[in-house]
Structure 1
Amino acid sequence: MSKYGKEILIGVIPVVIAFLAFIGLNVVPVLFMSVIVAALFLMNRARTGAGMGATADRKAKSRTPSYLTFDDIGGQDRAKHELKEALDFLIKHEEIKKLGIRPLKGILLEGPPGTGKTLMAKAAAHYTNSVFVSASGSEFVEMYVGVGASRVRDLFKDARSRAQKEGKDSAIVFIDEIDVIGGKRAGGQHREYDQTLNQLLTEMDGIHTAETPRILIMAATNRKEMLDSALLRPGRFDRHITVDLPDRKGRMHILNIHAKNKPLAEEVLLDRVADETFQFSGAQLESVMNEAAIYALRDGLEIIGQKHLSLAVDKVMLGEKSDRESTREEKERVAYHELGHAIAAELLNPGSVSQVALSPRGQALGYVRHNPQKEQYLYTKEYIESKIMVALGGAVAEEMFYGGRSTGSRNDFEQAINMVKTMMDAGLTRLGIIDREMTTKEELMKENAAIMEDLTRRTRELLERHRTVFIQSLDILMGEETLSGDQFRHMLQEQTGLLHESA
């Protein structure tokens, strides 16, 4: 109840009692019941206040980060350097004052899930010796109007009071998944989200960098494009730091961090695991090390071997092995499908196939394991086309031997279509350099169909020349359920040699 509501109630109750007495009613029972109701109300309020206090204490404790430094975070050297530079403005007061630098108010961490954005925020609190108060964007979302805005006010108030209580000069307010409350505002609508965002903007504008304790707001998102422009402007989130997927050096650092408490066999090569985990996030790499330890436990061993790490990579990438039983006809179709991928991959990128397997994993009934690839961040048209042809190889192989496709090609087609989109956005198609908003959907669909049709034709011609490899590989794959890369390459090289001789 608001302050004014209480005052009105206090004023109305005596008037009502006086009126009842004036008209001749006995007001003693009314007075007696009023006292009882007031007493119950005060008792309930006292219990609720105590409960809220305990809840607040629990939240405060849960928000206090464990001891974490930047050295405990691997694979983000550039992002850590940029963040430390921004945090120095919070620490080196005299130096920045001489140069007339305004300390930063907000830092936005953006990047894919699992790359360590929350860890970096906690490390920032330790680096600056600040109070750390955190919340998730979903905590501010309520069906009742005004609740989210009130929680934003309480969050900043809590940060200031805790900093003063603990005698610290600064506090860091961290909001995870800020896109939940910081999304672009729709015109003409008055939503609870908008009120919460407006309150957040007001609090950020009210941060005075000269006062003590100093407040720095940090936020994390993997959907920066959804954030409102008012939130991203200078003076609010002054720095936007990208926390991206780690490169090979970063992956090696992360693996070493998570291997410290795990007994590894002498023959284990973490370099090889770093090569095999291209495009893995830090969270996925931690899961690889954990799953490898679980596999060692299943085998009754006290040390983790290379095979356990290899199985762990497959599990994180594809899922756990399934115990689904398939019919022989279905297994044959899956075998042809996977061989189509493998043959296309080996012919277009020699030495790339590590293993062809029929063992179901996750939702996949079979898979082709590829050898580690080189770190590559720029792609040519020819390279993307070769990747699309590898993705189409499974469906084309099914058409060659069964005259039609199956639902097993769905994920392959999704990958192929995404790669075609990349080509279009990079101006590598016949449409040239385009803006999707200025190009009709029909034009895009027509170009997509033309590219897919051309690459499907080229893939079919490529695989038809090696039809006998399918037949030879099928018997081994059906019997042993796995075909090593060396076995597969040997058969492919024999067939390629016969083709050259006949030519």
Structure 2
Amino acid sequence: MSKLGKEVLIGIIPAVLAFLLYMGVNLLPVLLVGVVGFSLYFVSRNRTGGVGVTASSGRKSRSGRTPSYLTFEDIGGQERAKGELKEALDFLIHYEDIQKFGIRPLKGILLTGPPGTGKTLMAKAAAHYTNSVFVSAAGSEFVEMYVGVGASRIRDLFKEAQSRAAKENKQSAIIFIDEIDVIGGKREGGQQREYDQTLNQLLTEMDGIHTTDTPRILIIAATNRKEMLDSALLRPGRFDRHIQVDLPDKKGRLHVLQIHAKNKPIDDEVSLDRVAAESFGFSGAQLESVMNEAAIYAMRDGDSRIRQPHFSQAIDKVMMGEKTDREATMEERRRVALHELGHAIVAEEVKPRSVSMVSLSPRGQALGYVRHNPQQDQYLYTKSEIEHQIMIALGGSVAEEMFYGGRSTGSRNDFEQALNLVGTMVDSGLTGLGIVDRRMVTKEELMKANADIMGGLIDRTRELLERFRTVFEMSLDILIREEVLNGDQFRALMQSIKDKEKTSA
């Protein structure tokens, strides 16, 4: 309704009510009907407007400011995924060219991958790339306790995309559904669920998309759990392309850091390449947080520029949490120090020059931690390399056993990590069980294989740490007093023990 129409209506209604009151008409039923009608209208407006809708446009606003759209150049670390997505979007843009080859434009693109890798950003960039209307919704917006509400919202979403494209004179519209696994999960037999009706409606709408019609509709969906989606969604003709959006490699991480460093005062001596190396396994969202936390640390220290130590602190913060004010007893500090030294000694022995720092400062849930020097990105591991990782994880508990005769609850996370690595060995055929499917192996066989692997590696770890018992004694006082043991200091202590062994031999 236009603004003029609203003003006329506001002026007429009081006049009509006054006339009816003058004529002696009972206004109570009229008012009740009016209230009910207004309530229904308001609720329907909220339901259709509850789906988040934004449109991308290349034009500047009247105020002269550039609108907040996103391009593929603004997304770092996903060159392969962006290339795949651009190729799929080109089918939407160059419609006349692909008709010569009889190619059917895609109806749906599914973006899968870990959280924080940029799936939503890529969908927004796709709208700008194709000059399309962008309509977005989250899977949770279609879930209601009332039967049929989710299905009706799906219909409204498609109608909204078509009407906005026609109104803005666009040739295409992109509908983005985030966390589609909420409504697109596998359907089970038996009782009909509200989720099933919503999914059925989505399938019906996707089947009703005619790629020859204008405006052309493209569905882009994102999920972290592709394995949970119903097979009817994944078949060709619905989601035709499945694009994996993985965690960025070192080159990708450097690109992400450079993008987020544009508006920050970075010191000239800072090496973003080193930050990218130290942040192995970080997602794009975590890298953005690293840049933000580094700026916060610089502001706390009163520096005008962000320096390298600020980035090191920020990586620790994102990885393990903020420093805490826990006051541990001296005995607890001694046990934690021995525990972390156990990790560090094994790490330095199996991966020389890998230890950057041993810290006794509580951070997050950890009472202490070992910071490692950046290593090259690695995605394939041999049996011996996985065994070395397990030994590093076991080093803390073995050190406690050496000096206290038993373990503490501080080894719980280490054991979880070690058991996960053993599971990787089993699934990769790197154990005595051979090449097996874990689901086809009995629990007893798995427990025996696990016990054999862990028992053998615990013995190897204990034998290694016993060689460097003197390093524990020499490092313990420094670590408790200073709370930090530099990697170079630590290596010097280990080297002195090795030199003594050579001399005595």
**TM-score clears 0.5:** yes
Question: TM (normalized to structure 1)?
Answer: 0.91
Deviation at 1:297, TM superposition (A): 0.8
Residues 390 and 42 (structure 1), Cα distance of their counterparts in 2 relative to 1, 3 Å cut: same
SS of match in other structure, 2:184 = coil
Q: C-alpha separation between the residues in 2 aligned to 1:423 and 1:318?
A: 27
Aligned residues: 472
Aligned to 1:416: 418
Unaligned runs of 5+ in 1: 1-31
SS in 1 for 2:343: helix
Counterparts in 2 of 1:365 and 1:63: CA distance versus 1, 3 Å: farther
Q: Counterparts of 1:500 and 1:226 in 2: how far apart (Å)?
A: 58
1:181 alignment partner, SS class? helix
Deviations 1:67-112 (A, max 9, x none): 1000000000000000000000101111110000010000000011
Structure 1 CA distance, aligned partners of 2:100 and 2:445? 58
- Aligned to 2:174, the other structure's residue is in SS state strand
1:194 and 2:186 correspond: no
Aligned to 1:317: 319
User: Against the structure 1 CA distance between its residues 186 and 56, is the aligned structure 2 distance closer, same or farther, given a 3 Å change threshold?
Assistant: closer
Q: 2:33 aligns with which of 38, 41, 48?
A: 41
Identity of aligned residues (%): 72
Residue 401 of structure 1: aligned partner: 403
Out of 131, 145, 148, the residue aligned to residue 147 of structure 2 is 145
The letter of the residue matching 2:391 is M
Q: Determine if contact 1:64/1:133 at 8 Å carries over to the other structure.
A: no
Aligned position for 2:328: 326
Query: Cα deviations across residues 408-440 of structure 1 (Å, max 9, x unaligned)?
Result: 111111111111111111111111111122222
- Root mean square deviation, CA, Å: 1.8
Shift of 1:142: 1.2
Indicate if the aligned counterparts of 1:63 and 1:134 stay in contact, CA closer than 8 A: no
Letter in 2 for 1:496: K
CA deviations on 1:237-295 (whole Å, 9 max, x unpaired) are: 00000110001110110000000000011111111101100111000000000000000
Alignment of 1:181-220 (within 5 A): 181-220=183-222
Amino acid at match of 1:141: V
Task: Give CA-to-partner distance per residue, 1:466-486, whole Å, 9 cap, x none.
Answer: 111100000110110100000
Q: Which amino acid is the alignment partner of residue 315 of structure 1?
A: K
Task: Pick the aligned partner of 2:471 from 469, 472, 475.
Answer: 469
Distance 1:270 1:438 in 2: 47
Matched, 1:454 2:456: yes
Which of 433, 436, 440 is 1:434 aligned to? 436
Aligned to 2:160: 158
Report the Cα offset of residue 141 of structure 1. Answer: 1.1
Distance of 2:339 and 2:504 partners within structure 1: 27
Tell me the amino acid that sits aligned with residue 436 of structure 1. Answer: R
Query: Where does residue 12 of structure 1 map in the other structure?
Result: none
> Once the two structures are superposed, what CA deviation does each residue of 1:142-177 show, in whole Å capped at 9, x if it has no partner?
122211111111111111111111111111110101
Matched, 1:69 2:74: no
Q: CA deviation at 1:235?
A: 0.7
Indicate which of 98, 101, 120 corresponds to 2:100.
98
Distance 1:157 1:490, change over 3 A: same
Runs of 4+ in 1 over 3 A off after TM superposition: 32-39, 50-66
Structure 2 unaligned spans of 5+: 1-23, 58-67
Are 2:52 and 2:137, in contact at CA under 8 Å, matched by a contact in 1? no
Give the letter for the 1:329 counterpart: E
* 1:369 aligned counterpart, secondary structure: strand
Per the alignment, residue 19 of structure 2 pairs with none
Deviates more, 1:278-287 or 1:147-156: 147-156
Matched, 1:266 2:268: yes
- Match of 1:46, as an amino acid? F
Counterpart residue type for residue 455 of structure 2: E
1:222 aligns with 2:224: yes
**Displacement of 1:396:** 0.4
TM-superposed deviation, 1:135: 0.7
Contact 2:55 2:132 in 1 (8 A): no
Query: What is the distance in 1 between the residues matched to 2:401 and 2:81?
Result: 48
Deviation at 1:453, TM superposition (A): 1.1
Residue 60 of structure 2 is matched in structure 1 by none
TM (norm. structure 2) is 0.91
Which of 64, 86, 89 is residue 88 of structure 2 equivalent to? Answer: 86
Match for 2:379 among 377, 380, 384? 377
Distance 2:94 2:482 in 1: 65
What is the distance in 1 between the residues matched to 2:234 and 2:489?
A: 55
